[in-house]
Amino acid sequence: MNDLGRLEDLPADYLAELKALNLVPLWPSLRAVLPPGQPRPNTRATFWAYKALKPLLLKAGELTPIEKAERRVLVLANPGHGLESMKASAAMYLGMQLLLPGEWAPSHRHTPNAVRMVVEGEGAWTTVDGEKCPMSRGDLILTPTGLWHEHGHDGDQPVVWLDVLDLPLVYYMEASYHINGQRQTQLPGRGDRAYLGGGMVPTPVFGRSGKAYPMLRYPWAQARAALEALAADRPDLGAVQITYVNPETGGDAQNILGFYALMLRPGQTLQLPARSPASVFHLIEGAVEVAIEAQRFTLAEADTCCAPGYTPITLRNGSATAPSFVFIADEAPLHRKLGVYEVREANGQ
């Protein structure tokens, strides 16, 4: 791969002189930082089975009290990046978080953006920016950059959710930090109610909400109903998919990562073209086979996998009689903003 000479080809005294002056020759590393044709991602197609992970998460509940952990999370780490770097992809962090009945994860805010996708259990809530958002299976709750958030649980069974953060990117930028706060004063609202009618936004006489993140909770019941209606109305549609958007702007719900819900019709196979962003698939309902190059993962409900960018992906509904529903997170908003977003045709051009 490296045909521009190696570092060792240079005289040792020359290299020592460069080093003493904090200088580095580019040419021995040029092919590594600019590989031909397409990147060589460290991100590997990786699968995490909920059935295998859940007992270990419950064990963490026995081993570590919430007061000590603050957030009780098992990180879904991609071995291609080294497990200790806690990345699912270059820009995405994934974790499964456990909250037990009666527990409280104290209020804080931080620079990375987070979302929660509720996996299991009822009765928990996340208060974001003063709004107490109830958590039910499949709900998407945003905790965007800078907003206070805390979690509590009034139910009687463990609650688990999937955290998706842009932490690896923000950390890489040396812009990651947090601030601890007091228990929030509860304000009216539960993160969603003002925006539950699609295409209709609250309109005070003087302008709009003025909030950068007006909608904080996207209930699964609404998302699922939207997908089913779309599938019924549009039999011609190849992909029955919705994007979680900011209802005031129509843009992505958050700045860096994108979030989507996809319905696969009974028996459907969907081929996704190779696109530059890495992506994550989490099965909300049904059974889905995910093929990422030579890898094949069979997702049962609550299972999660990730795929590197620049790779075609095939999703197949394992059921011939029932739809399947997938939550997707990707790095597309980031790639678009940076101008590096690409979709490649099947022939690699």
Residue linked to tokens 């791969």: 1
Q: Among residues 44 and 71, whose Cβ is nearest to ligand 1HN?
A: 71
Tell me whether residue 91 or residue 242 sits nearer to ligand 1HN (CB atom).
Answer: 91
User: Would you count residue 215 as binding ligand 1HN (CB under 6 A)?
Assistant: no
163 counts as binding ligand 1HN under rule CB under 6 A: yes
- 97 versus 279: smaller Cβ distance to ligand 1HN: 97
165 binds ligand 1HN (CB under 6 A): yes
Among 95, 134, 138, 277, which residue sits at the site for ligand 1HN (rule: CB under 6 A)? 95
128 binds ligand 1HN (CB under 6 A): no
Q: Please report whether residue 114 would count as binding ligand 1HN according to CB under 6 A.
A: yes
With beta carbons less than 8 A apart as the criterion, state whether 214 and 174 touch. no
Give me the torsion for CA of 183, 329, 73, 85, rounded to 10°: -120
Query: Would you state the structure tokens that stand for residue 218, as one six-digit string?
Result: 């996207």
The reply on whether position 191 binds ligand 1HN by CB under 6 A is no
| 299 scored as a contact of ligand 1HN (CB under 6 A) | no
Q: Is 285 a residue that touches ligand 1HN (CB under 6 A)?
A: no
Work out whether 307 is an interface residue with ligand 1HN (CB under 6 A). Answer: no
CA-based angle 254:256:261, to the nearest 5?
A: 60
Q: In Å, what is the CA distance from 263 to each residue of 183, 233, 246, 327?
A: 38, 14, 21, 9
Taking CB under 6 A as the rule, does residue 149 contact ligand 1HN? yes
- Counting contacts by CB under 6 A, is residue 73 touching ligand 1HN? yes
CA separation for the pair 87, 81 (Å, rounded): 7
Interacting residues with ligand 1HN (CB under 6 A): 71, 73, 95, 97, 105, 110, 114, 149, 163, 165, 167
